[in-house]
């Protein structure tokens, strides 16, 4: 039998031996990940069956998209999975940022205030909120914003949160994944505690969770611990790698409806929106999502374990429980970060032959290097990495549609650093 790992991928004996040794210690972690995947797989199949999904649901609509049975049933399937009254799952939602904007802008009105009790949200939220000036921001429409940072140890600053909730506070935005920030991601349990605390202060406040990268990582979702509405991207976990675009919102019926009025038009809401043949991919991607998410998680845990052993700081570390699929590895030098991204790129099924280089990016104050060889452009449930070219030269990576491919990507990244003399065993 041909030995691909040595002959076609040029991975050194030492790298292979080192990685396989580490893998032996990950059996318990992987088994836990598989158990969650099994639970979530059954959750998804059960939702499909409750809605009696059939061949007619897999085709789509054109034009206005009235009476699109597949679209409407898919939204009920999402509602079952997240245990919510309703959901909005659409190819017209262009990204996670768009989904979050619909949830917020659809439900906030002039004079209302939005509170983030978990520090500064994801970069692209700056313009939505108006932290950075932008036409059409919430700020421009008279919605004010307040923020309470996490404590130094990552805990909630309960005293300041209590003081910040006032008569204007209409919505609270909670980000589950750390994204590119240096704080821990929030487990579903911790999100639940925070929501309980806030609702004790003000029961009618609407709690929104940015669920990006978190779907199917745990057995429960934020809507099962008190979140009124959640939002996310279909080119991350719930699209299972097959959704070619799209985003979702799930939550209380009235809140989802207001978001739908914002997406299409007041009066039209969820009634319109052609699906143009994507229903099949949305369904099949959702069906695969629990196992795809598990593959991405195994890849992240494996990477943390090998890089930690090689003396690089990993966030989260290889022992921590996970609530999202993002892994950061501090490579310490510009050469290290570039070599890491080259390794990931060289394992890709698409564009494996290109060499990632650092370049300026809008919204960043330093150059950024990115590795992506994806079927769906920008998809970050597929194996991908990026990092800003500044101290501590951290690579943020995520994804891996299959565990064997994720493993190859990490081994290629180690091979790349090894060849350049940037690590020793
Ligand atoms: C990815 C992500 C978003 C949205 O990003 P898009 O690129 O617009 O899909 C928002 N919040 C977090 C934490 C994310 O990881």
Q: What is the pLDDT of residue 364?
A: 72
Q: Write down the residue that tokens 């500044």 correspond to.
A: 390
CA 7 → CA 18, 20, 83, 378, distances in Å? 18, 18, 49, 30
The ligand 1 atom nearest the CA atom of 233: 9
Q: From CA 84, how far away is CA 165, in angstroms rounded? A: 25
The ligand 1 atom nearest the CA atom of 247: 9
The ligand 1 atom nearest the CA atom of 235: 9
Specify whether the CB–CB gap between 381 and 236 falls below 8 A.
yes
Q: From CA 240, how far away is CA 225, in angstroms rounded? A: 24
Give pLDDT tens digits for 153-192. Answer: 999 999 999 999 999 999 999 999 998 787 889 999 999 9
The residues lining ligand 1, judged by C-beta closer than 6 Å to any ligand atom, are 95-97, 122, 124, 175, 177, 179, 210, 212-213, 233
Cα–ligand 1 centroid distance for 287 (angstroms)? 22
Which residue out of 97, 99, 249 has the highest number of ligand 1 atoms within 8 Å of its CB and is therefore the one to mutate?
A: 97
Cα–ligand 1 centroid distance for 215 (angstroms)? 13
Domains identified in the chain and CATH numbers: 2-40+289-419 (3.90.1150.60), 42-286 (3.40.640.10)
Q: From CA 305, how far away is CA 105, in angstroms rounded? A: 41
Cα–ligand 1 centroid distance for 97 (angstroms)? 6
Which residue out of 236, 324, 327, 380 has the highest number of ligand 1 atoms within 8 Å of its CB and is therefore the one to mutate?
A: 236
Q: What is the pLDDT of residue 157?
A: 98
Cα–ligand 1 centroid distance for 197 (angstroms)? 26
Local structure of 175: helix, strand or coil: strand
Q: Which residues pair with 209 in a beta bridge?
A: 174, 230
Cα–ligand 1 centroid distance for 212 (angstroms)? 6
Cα–ligand 1 centroid distance for 322 (angstroms)? 18
Q: From CA 271, how far away is CA 290, in angstroms rounded? A: 29
Q: What is the pLDDT of residue 419?
A: 97
Buried b (16+ CB within 10 A) or exposed e, 225-239: bbbbbbbbbbbbbbb
Which residue out of 125, 179, 296, 370 has the highest number of ligand 1 atoms within 8 Å of its CB and is therefore the one to mutate?
A: 179
Q: What is the pLDDT of residue 183?
A: 86
Tell me phi and psi for residue 395, to 5 degrees.
Answer: -95, 130
Specify whether the CB–CB gap between 385 and 341 falls below 8 A.
yes
Cα–ligand 1 centroid distance for 172 (angstroms)? 17
Which among 405, 23, 35, 404 has a CA at the least distance from the CA of 217?
Answer: 35
Q: What is the pLDDT of residue 110?
A: 98
Question: Is the preceding peptide bond at 260 cis, omega within 30 degrees of 0?
Answer: no
Which residue out of 122, 175, 181, 325 has the highest number of ligand 1 atoms within 8 Å of its CB and is therefore the one to mutate?
A: 122
Cα–ligand 1 centroid distance for 425 (angstroms)? 36
Which among 70, 350, 382 has a CA at the least distance from the CA of 243?
Answer: 382
Specify whether the CB–CB gap between 125 and 102 falls below 8 A.
no
* Helix, strand, coil percentages for the chain (3-state, nearest 5): 40, 15, 45
Low-confidence ranges of the chain (pLDDT < 50): none
Residue having the nearest C-alpha atom to atom 2 of ligand 1: 212
Give pLDDT tens digits for 290-317. Answer: 999 999 999 999 999 999 999 999 999 9
């Amino acid at each position: 039998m041909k030995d691909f790992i040595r002959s076609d991928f040029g991975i050194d004996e030492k790298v292979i031996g080192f990685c396989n040794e580490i893998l032996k210690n990950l059996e318990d972690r992987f088994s836990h990940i598989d158990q969650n995947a099994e639970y979530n797989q059954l959750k998804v199949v059960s939702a499909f069956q409750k809605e009696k999904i059939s061949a007619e649901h897999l085709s789509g609509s054109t034009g206005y998209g009235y009476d699109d049975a597949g679209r409407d049933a898919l939204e009920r399937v999402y509602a079952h999975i997240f245990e919510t009254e309703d959901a909005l799952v659409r190819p017209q939602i262009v990204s996670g940022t768009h989904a979050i904007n619909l949830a917020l802008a659809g439900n906030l009105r002039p004079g209302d205030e939005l509170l983030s009790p978990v520090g500064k949200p994801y970069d692209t939220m700056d313009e939505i909120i108006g932290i950075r000036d932008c036409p059409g921001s919430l700020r421009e429409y008279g919605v004010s914003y307040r923020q309470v940072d996490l404590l130094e140890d990552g805990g909630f600053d309960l005293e300041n949160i209590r003081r910040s909730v006032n008569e204007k506070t209409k919505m609270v935005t909670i980000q589950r994944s750390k994204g590119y920030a240096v704080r821990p991601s929030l487990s579903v349990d911790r999100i639940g505690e925070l929501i309980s605390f806030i609702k004790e202060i003000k029961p009618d406040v609407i709690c929104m969770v940015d669920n990006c990268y978190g779907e199917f990582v745990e057995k429960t979702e934020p809507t099962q611990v008190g979140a009124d509405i959640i939002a996310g991207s279909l080119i991350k976990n719930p699209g299972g790698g097959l959704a070619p675009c799209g985003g979702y919102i799930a939550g209380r019926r009235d809140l989802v409806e207001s978001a739908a009025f914002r997406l299409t038009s007041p009066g039209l809401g969820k009634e319109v929106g052609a699906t143009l043949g994507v229903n099949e991919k949305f369904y099949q991607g959702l069906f695969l999502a629990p196992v795809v998410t598990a593959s991405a998680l195994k890849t992240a845990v494996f990477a943390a374990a090998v890089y930690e052993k090689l003396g690089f700081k990993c966030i989260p570390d290889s022992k921590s429980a996970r609530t999202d699929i993002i892994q950061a590895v501090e490579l310490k030098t510009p050469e290290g970060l570039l070599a890491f991204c080259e390794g990931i790129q060289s394992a890709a099924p698409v564009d494996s032959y290109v060499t990632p280089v650092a370049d300026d990016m809008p919204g960043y104050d330093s150059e950024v290097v990115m590795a992506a060889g994806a079927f769906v452009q920008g998809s970050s449930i597929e194996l991908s990495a990026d990092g800003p070219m500044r101290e501590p030269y951290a690579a943020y990576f995520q994804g891996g549609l299959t565990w064997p491919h994720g493993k190859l990507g990490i081994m290629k990244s180690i091979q790349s650093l090894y060849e350049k003399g940037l690590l020793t065993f």
